[in-house]
């Protein structure tokens, strides 16, 4: 797979790929919005632990919800993982996500001295990841200006 589960930038911050509600044990997407939200957050936790950190190290989350009507439900679930000092967060509603996904997010975590720069291949292989492509245009008359993968 040409996408890393997470990378560490020169500034020492850890950036994740798209976290979705796919079970690392079965490789299948769990069925409901609540289950997908919990599973995606557990997948993030496993990645953070492998890197030597935890939920408390997350500084920013970019959340993608297929249904913005589910934001309150996600907020309640999110509080379980970030009960004190939750990270900054932005939310948007894309037209589509990974097939079967109802929720997806990326996260940025600080990398203190306890976080190691590399994640083990076994953890990288076991966690589901998604590459998100976004095309941004400044105005309808302009061609797309950037493409993130």
Q: Residue 45: what pLDDT?
A: 95
Would you say residue 140 has pLDDT above 50?
no
What mean pLDDT is predicted for residues 83-99?
94
How far CA 73 is from CA of 28, 32, 103, in Å, comes to 22, 12, 12
Of the candidates 92, 31, 101, 21, the one whose C-alpha atom is nearest the C-alpha of residue 62 is 92
What string of DSSP letters covers 62-92?
A: EEEES-GGGHHHHHHHHHHH--SSPPEEEEE
For the ranges 2-11, 100-109, 126-135, which has the lowest average pLDDT?
A: 126-135
Quick count: other Cβ atoms within 10 Å of Cβ 131?
Answer: 13
Q: Residue 6: what pLDDT?
A: 81
Question: Confidence band (pLDDT; 50, 70, 90) for 7?
Answer: confident
- pTM for this structure? 0.75
What mean pLDDT is predicted for residues 54-83?
97
CA atoms of 107 and 15, how far apart (whole Å): 6
């Amino acid at each position: 797979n040409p996408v890393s589960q997470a990378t560490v930038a020169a500034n020492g911050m850890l950036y994740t790929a798209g976290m979705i509600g796919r079970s690392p044990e079965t490789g299948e997407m769990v069925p409901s919005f609540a289950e997908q939200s919990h599973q995606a957050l557990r997948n993030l936790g496993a990645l953070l632990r492998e890197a030597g950190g935890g939920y408390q190290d997350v500084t920013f989350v970019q959340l993608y919800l297929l249904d913005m009507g589910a934001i309150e439900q996600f907020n309640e679930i999110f509080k379980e993982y970030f009960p004190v000092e939750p990270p900054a967060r932005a939310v948007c509603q894309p037209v589509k996500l990974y097939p079967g996904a109802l929720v997806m997010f990326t996260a940025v975590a600080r990398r203190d001295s306890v976080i190691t720069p590399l994640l083990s291949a076994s953890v990288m292989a076991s966690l589901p990841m998604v590459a998100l492509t976004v095309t941004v245009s400044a105005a309808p008359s302009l061609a797309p200006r950037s493409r993130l993968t």
